[in-house]
Amino acid sequence: MLDLSKYQSIGAALKDALGEFANEVCLIEADREREKERLTYREFKARAHPLAKALQDAGFAAGDRASIIMTNQSKWLISAYAIFYAGGVLVPLDYKLTPDEQWQLLKHSGAIVLVTEYPIWRQLSAVEGRAAATNVTTVLVTEAPKNAELAGAHRWEEFQDGGEPVFIPRTRKDVACIVYSSGTGGRPKGCMMTHENYLEQCVALTSIYSFSPGMRYLSILPTNHAIDFMVGFFGPFICGAAVVHLRTLRPEYVREAFSKYKITYVSLVPLVLKNLQKGLQARFDELSPGKRRIFNALVSINKALTKSRPRLGLSRRLLKQVHEPFGGELRTIIVGGAFTEPQTLQFFYDLGIPVANGYGLTEAGTAITVNDLKPFRADTVGKPLPGMEVRIVNANTDGIGEVSVRSKTIMSGYLNEPELTAETIVDGWLMTGDLGRFDSAGHLQLFGRKKNMIVSEEGKNIYPEDIEAVFDSLAVKEFCVFAANYIWPQRSMVGEQLLLALHLEPGQTYTVELRREISARNNKLLNYKRIHGVALFDQDFPRTASLKIKRNVLAEQLAKLDRATAFLPL
Amino acid sequence: MRTLEQTTQEVLDLASKHFNVPAGSLAPEDDFFKKLGIDSLQTLEMLSRLENHFGIELPDYEVQGVSDFRTLASRIQSRL
């Protein structure tokens, strides 16, 4: 691993890594059973430099912003490196957003270059006039069919110039990436992450979960996500490890990839981890009574022998039939993006597959705490990573209060949002809005949220104000969307739901037709953004002088209703 | 060559069989996440079944943002 304390920027560290590990494999890309790409660090450089040169020749300069909207693949990382090499700021956007949302964030970010893939560009360019409203002047499109209409875009594969690009140095305090943690419908939250944020986070994470040449990371979480960017790009690259991309995430191909590519690490969201658990449990349930008894005995032996620490070699031998489908090299499953239920973590640990559970926010530079597995604890999100100061603010008598964090990994602020930044970072401490406490062993336990938002099991942050537009001009007096747990606090981080609070017109009743109308509009939202129920409120919503709903006051008023009877499922 | 209606019907039949819901209870305009109560992973499993049935490859991006049977059937139809 490179000594990151010597580096000022992501680009400088990656540049040296490409030389240091020139002959090691850095990328493997598979499409179903076909391997599309296998690149060494030397070959990676040979692909990235002509792109960086072409960007520079097109006028792309230090501090300019370039966005990537792509599914996980080798060209994502090649493009990102070229952008950093040219001194640019990367704006990674979620490919799962709608074209409208993507244009909105492109405009907000001020990106002048967009790198995307043909199917996404086809949808983006179908929205007329949107490009003109942004600063985007250069669009690069990958894998466009021969005679495709590119609507002014360049083919990524042909956008390359000869000669060596000039490496543009950046300092630790310069912004490296603008990462959107939410805000597609309301107030975009573009986290300005500095080079220092990434360098420090990488040092902290790799001190616990290390990479080295020959190790392989399976990249499944979207690379625009803070976790995959760190452990599916920057982390493995500065250690000379390899990243495996799959162009389809069908469960059967993901399963196959573990053994085919001898995967060392993978990051998953809780939803996928639970699905894996379900699949394994179904297999165990099919065992004959005799085999089942033997299997249970082996699991018990494994549990006893791994009580104080994981013993991978031993677990792999004891429970061979469980470990073989995972390729036999898997060290740890990293789970993130949302809260994971302790029983799921315990299930895997008992089988000898450690799950690195942690807690983090994009604003904090990925992870704040991680379970160090010494010993494994399913009931907490682990201890603070090296370099992280974590404290509990305004604790109640149970010691539960708001988690706040101070470290070199905290973002410099939200783009164009000084007020929101000042509310979020107070005297250098990031206020997370999550409720927690430390136990006697120094492990952090989480107990719910203080803020009005939910996180889906797929790791998506959903802010109620972002989805209200779909209910605009609904035939009621007024409405407002809330996270149900914000109104009626629960000591839980799972099973979170969104609620539509309705104030009907005088004499109006909640009819089947109104319910249908709400459902129809709700269905226009992506599935993870949908509301789960309705609550009726018979008073005028409290409003500010400028007629904005006072959400916190309304939430207090709604809290007086009994959740069990007030929450009407859709 | 199948018509879009035939393709749609085959998609509905296969979904009802795969997820064990009564035949005829699914309609082309239904939101399959809601109607079948499935998550994004189960949807991917359903897509694999559909690919095998129709003998096509349906890239993940083609079904990005699709949540009703009719649109799904039209994406399949365009690849038959």
Looking at domain A269-449, its CATH superfamily turns out to be ANL, N-terminal domain (3.40.50.12780)
For tokens 């090691």, name the residue: A24
Q: What is the pLDDT of residues B35-74, one digit of tens each?
A: 888 877 788 888 888 999 999 988 887 787 788 899 999 9
Structure tokens that stand for A242 in this block? 């390899």
- Check residue A182 and give its pLDDT: 67
Residue of A nearest to B48 (CA): A250
For tokens 């010597």, name the residue: A6
- Check residue A516 and give its pLDDT: 93
Read off the DSSP letter of residue A494: S
- Report chain A residues whose CB lies below 8 A from the CB of B39: 271, 457-458, 527
Distance CA A222, CA B60 (A): 13
Structure tokens that stand for B2 in this block? 């199948």
Which of the two residues, A167 and A96, has the higher pLDDT score?
A167
Distance CA A451, CA A432 (A): 9
Distance CA A450, CA A464 (A): 14
* Helix, strand, coil percent content, chain A, rounded in steps of 5: 35, 25, 40
Q: How confident is the model at residue A234 (pLDDT cuts 50, 70, 90)?
A: very high
Quick one: what percent of chain A has pLDDT higher than 90?
75
Q: How confident is the model at residue A455 (pLDDT cuts 50, 70, 90)?
A: confident
Distance CA A411, CA A40 (A): 32
- Report chain A residues whose CB lies below 8 A from the CB of B31: 523
Q: What is the pLDDT of residues A293-321, one digit of tens each?
A: 999 999 999 999 999 999 999 999 999 99
Q: Which DSSP string do the residues of A75-86 spell out, in sequence order?
A: HHHHHHHHHHHT
Domain boundaries for CATH 3.30.300.30 within chain A: 467-569
Mean pLDDT for A110-116 is 98
Distance CA A438, CA A147 (A): 60
The interface pTM score, or ipTM, of the predicted complex is 0.77
> What's the fold here for domain A8-266?
Rossmann fold (3.40.50)
Q: What is the pLDDT of residues A477-508, one digit of tens each?
A: 999 999 998 899 887 777 789 999 999 999 99
Distance CA A150, CA A145 (A): 10
Structure tokens that stand for A382 in this block? 């682990």
Residue A440 contacts by C-beta under 8 Å, 6 or more apart in sequence?
none
- Whether residue A458 and residue B61 make contact (CB cut-off 8 A), yes or no, is no
User: In degrees, to the nearest 5, what angle opens at C-alpha A95 toward C-alphas A211 and A201?
Assistant: 30
Distance CA A2, CA B53 (A): 50
- Check residue A186 and give its pLDDT: 57
- Whether residue A251 and residue B44 make contact (CB cut-off 8 A), yes or no, is yes
- Whether residue B48 and residue A247 make contact (CB cut-off 8 A), yes or no, is no
For tokens 């490859």, name the residue: B57
- Whether residue A117 and residue B41 make contact (CB cut-off 8 A), yes or no, is no
Question: In angstroms, how far is the first alpha carbon of chain A from the final one?
Answer: 52
- Check residue A188 and give its pLDDT: 82
> What's the fold here for domain A467-569?
GMP Synthetase; Chain A, domain 3 (3.30.300)
| Residues of chain B contacting A, Cβ within 8 Å | 31, 33-34, 39-41, 44-45, 47-48, 57, 59-62, 64-65, 67
Distance CA A353, CA A345 (A): 9
Give the one of A117, A120, A249 whose C-beta lies nearest to B44's C-beta.
Answer: A249
Which is it for the CA torsion A201, A416, A72, A166, positive or negative? Answer: negative
Chain A nearest CA to B69, separation (Å): 13
> What's the fold here for domain B4-77?
1.10.1200
Residue A44 contacts by C-beta under 8 Å, 6 or more apart in sequence?
A18, A26, A27, A77, A78, A81
Residue spans of the domains in chain B: they are 4-77
Q: Which of these, A221, A494, A528, A498, lies nearest to A381 by C-alpha position?
A: A494
- Of A302-316, A342-356, B3-17, B53-67, the range with the lowest mean pLDDT is B53-67
Q: To the nearest 10°, the Cα dihedral for A29, A30, A35, A41?
A: 10
Please classify residue A398 by burial: count the beta carbons closer than 10 Å to its beta carbon, then call 0-12 exposed, 13-18 middle and 19+ buried: exposed
Bridge partner list, A366: A361
pTM of the model: 0.85
Q: To the nearest 10°, the Cα dihedral for A542, A548, A552, A553?
A: -10
Q: What is the pLDDT of residues A456-473, one digit of tens each?
A: 877 777 888 878 888 988
Give the one of A249, A271, A523 whose C-beta lies nearest to B31's C-beta.
Answer: A523
CA A347 to chain centre: 24
Chain B nearest CA to A254, separation (Å): 11
Give the one of B40, B61, B65 whose C-beta lies nearest to A458's C-beta.
Answer: B40
Which is it for the CA torsion A6, A11, A13, A18, positive or negative? Answer: negative
Domain boundaries for CATH 3.40.50.12780 within chain A: 8-266, 269-449
Chain A nearest CA to B11, separation (Å): 18
Mutation choice for B interface testing from A71, A96, A252, A527 by most B CBs within 10 A:
A527
Give the one of A95, A275, A526 whose C-beta lies nearest to B41's C-beta.
Answer: A275
Q: What is the pLDDT of residues A422-448, one digit of tens each?
A: 999 999 999 998 999 999 999 999 988
> For chain A, what is the mean pLDDT?
92
